[in-house]
Structure 1
Amino acid sequence: MGDRIEVGSADDPRLADYRDLRDVQLRKHLEATHGLFVAEGEKVVRRAAEAGFTARSFLMSPRWLEGLSDVLAASSAPCYVVSEELAEEVTGFHVHRGALASLERQALPTVSSVLGGARSVLVLEDIVDHTNVGAIFRSGAALGFDAVLLSPRCADPLYRRSIKVGMGAVFTMPWTRLDDWYDAMPMLSTAGFTTVALTLSEDSTPIDEAVAGLDKVALVLGSEGHGLSSRWEQATDRRAIIAMSAGIDSLNVAAATAVACYVTARR
């Protein structure tokens, strides 16, 4: 069990991992440089620990110590105990769930290892909103998908906000970034997957028809603004839509993923 250390100053250098958590650009630099990420909330911190991530430290107010006592006891990392007011001063927001952990990132697995044994995967191209990425991981995990592949420009699934929205699904869902974005669709076809793009192209068919009877399926989703690139859209085996009432042509990408995952899981 690591030491429990009461800290009374926001300037304490030991709290550096938790400073300015709402500054996305600063966090990208700090977390990449030091190979860390931050988990927020009792359930998420617990799930990260249960998934085998090594803690660098914990930061929490006194009332959360008992609820996470077993996690703290199993780790040699220090726990910095602060008032809720001090936690807000350090992080830049009200930590209403009271508990944070700084954890070490793990090396990303290879694409082939992530796809091994998978039958249903999600493939994300340039989805840059952390909330959307987290929600997509959560829907995929909840609806029985086996893995997620991300293009190089997708938002970081281990960013605090993404983890929180996804309720820690990123800790148990196998995922990695694509080695070769350009030829990702042919690679998936070679691996035995039928690639199905969610897109408003003229030859799109309803999602239930597009996935019916398929064994291995890769659902392909594009960015929040322009959707899929023309290369990925044209390279997929099939293109699909979610049927909607007149006047609405699309859903938020996270909502669309949930619907598509539900249909695909019941193919």
Structure 2
Amino acid sequence: MVQVIQIDDPADERLADFRDLSTADRRPDRPGGRGLVLAEGVVVVERLLASPYPVRALLGVQRRIEALADQLESVDVPAYVTSAEIMAEVVGFHLNRGVLASADRAPMPAPADLAARSRCLAVLEGVGDHENLGSIFRNAAALGVDGVLLGPGCSDPLYRRSVRVSMGHVLRVPFSTVEPWPDGLKTLRDNGFRIAALTPRADSRSLRTAVAGVGKVALLLGSEGPGLTEEAITAADLPVRIPMAPGVDSLNVATAAAVAFYEVTQALDPDH
């Protein structure tokens, strides 16, 4: 059962997982740092507790820890309870959601294993914005995408902002990396995937017609602004697009992902 521990000293060394989150070079979830996962808010912490990521500790105000009582019954970790003022001093800013949890990372699946058990995958290139990345993971969870593969230039899905924007769904959607790029996409083709590159260029086909009758689809999505590189488009089986009204050529990448995920998952499973 969770160990509830009252904290009245912001310098308490037991709070190291949560300290100075506004200081870039000391953040525990930064790439190359301690590699922790941080969940913020009751809903996201609940999803962390239900995920394969090993929880280390919680920090929150009394009422937020109490709101998690049912989920914490079977968790043997410390839950540090303190005031909002002390919590803000530890974290480095006022945390409106009132609770944080830290966890160690879980092993990523091998790309081939993820491909073997999936029908629909998102493959990302150059999605470096944490909020876009978090939104894409949330969309993937909502629309039945089986997993996400990360190419070069993508930010870390387990960075705190991505976890928060995804509403914790990054913790339930499996992801891995594609290496080398783009030659590693061959793993998808070997597992029966048709690889569709989302691009507004003139020779692309309508996504809906392109994926009709296809058994497994990997959807390539590029960065906000420049989109996919020519190298990635060439490595795909075909370029596809979302038809637009006149005068508009593209959508925000997370919005485009949501539309594309819906079209692909409906094509694969119309009763979904």
- For residues 125-164 of structure 1, the aligned pairs below 5 Å read 125-164=125-164
Q: What is the distance in 2 between the residues matched to 1:227 and 1:31?
A: 24
Counterpart AA for 1:50: A
Cα distance change of structure 1 residues 178 and 26 upon mapping to structure 2, 3 Å threshold: farther
State the identity %: 44
- For residues 64-79 of structure 1, the aligned pairs below 5 Å read 64-79=64-79
- For residues 18-97 of structure 1, the aligned pairs below 5 Å read 18-27=18-27, 32-97=32-97
Q: What is the distance in 2 between the residues matched to 1:130 and 1:25?
A: 17
Counterpart AA for 2:195: T
For residues 40-59 of structure 1, give each alpha carbon's deviation from its aligned partner in whole angstroms, at most 9, with x where no partner exists.
Answer: 11111111111232211110
- For residues 110-125 of structure 1, the aligned pairs below 5 Å read 110-125=110-125
Deviation at 1:32, TM superposition (A): 4.2
Indicate the SS of the match to 1:142.
helix
- 1:180 alignment counterpart: 180
Is the contact between residue 146 and residue 174 of structure 2 (CA under 8 Å) also seen in structure 1? yes
For residues 20-66 of structure 1, give each alpha carbon's deviation from its aligned partner in whole angstroms, at most 9, with x where no partner exists.
Answer: 32445543675644331111111111111112322111101011122
Deviation at 1:124, TM superposition (A): 0.5
Is the contact between residue 139 and residue 257 of structure 2 (CA under 8 Å) also seen in structure 1? yes
Q: What is the distance in 1 between the residues matched to 2:169 and 2:147?
A: 11
- 2:102 alignment counterpart: 102
TM-score, normalization by structure 1:
0.93
Indicate the SS of the match to 1:247.
coil
Q: What is the distance in 2 between the residues matched to 1:52 and 1:232?
A: 32
Indicate the SS of the match to 2:219.
strand
Let me know the Cα RMSD of the aligned residues: 1.8
Out of 173-182 and 189-198, give the one that drifted further.
Answer: 173-182
For residues 175-226 of structure 1, give each alpha carbon's deviation from its aligned partner in whole angstroms, at most 9, with x where no partner exists.
Answer: 1112322303333222211111111223112211221221100000011232
Counterpart AA for 1:75: V
Q: What is the distance in 2 between the residues matched to 1:236 and 1:200?
A: 15
Is the contact between residue 58 and residue 100 of structure 1 (CA under 8 Å) also seen in structure 2? yes
Cα distance change of structure 1 residues 3 and 40 upon mapping to structure 2, 3 Å threshold: same
Indicate the SS of the match to 1:34.
coil
Counterpart AA for 1:139: N
Q: What is the distance in 2 between the residues matched to 1:9 and 1:205?
A: 61
Q: What is the distance in 2 between the residues matched to 1:28 and 1:193?
A: 37
- 1:264 alignment counterpart: 264
Counterpart AA for 2:216: K
Indicate the SS of the match to 2:202.
coil
TM-score, normalization by structure 2:
0.91
Q: What is the distance in 1 between the residues matched to 2:148 and 2:52?
A: 19
- For residues 217-256 of structure 1, the aligned pairs below 5 Å read 217-256=217-256
The alignment covers a number of residue pairs equal to 267
Gapped regions of structure 1 (runs ≥ 5) = none
- 1:214 alignment counterpart: 214
Deviation at 1:108, TM superposition (A): 1.4
Is the contact between residue 24 and residue 30 of structure 2 (CA under 8 Å) also seen in structure 1? no
Is the contact between residue 31 and residue 37 of structure 1 (CA under 8 Å) also seen in structure 2? no
Q: What is the distance in 1 between the residues matched to 2:128 and 2:24?
A: 12
Counterpart AA for 1:229: T
Deviation at 1:253, TM superposition (A): 0.3
Q: What is the distance in 1 between the residues matched to 2:89 and 2:112?
A: 44
Cα distance change of structure 1 residues 143 and 237 upon mapping to structure 2, 3 Å threshold: same
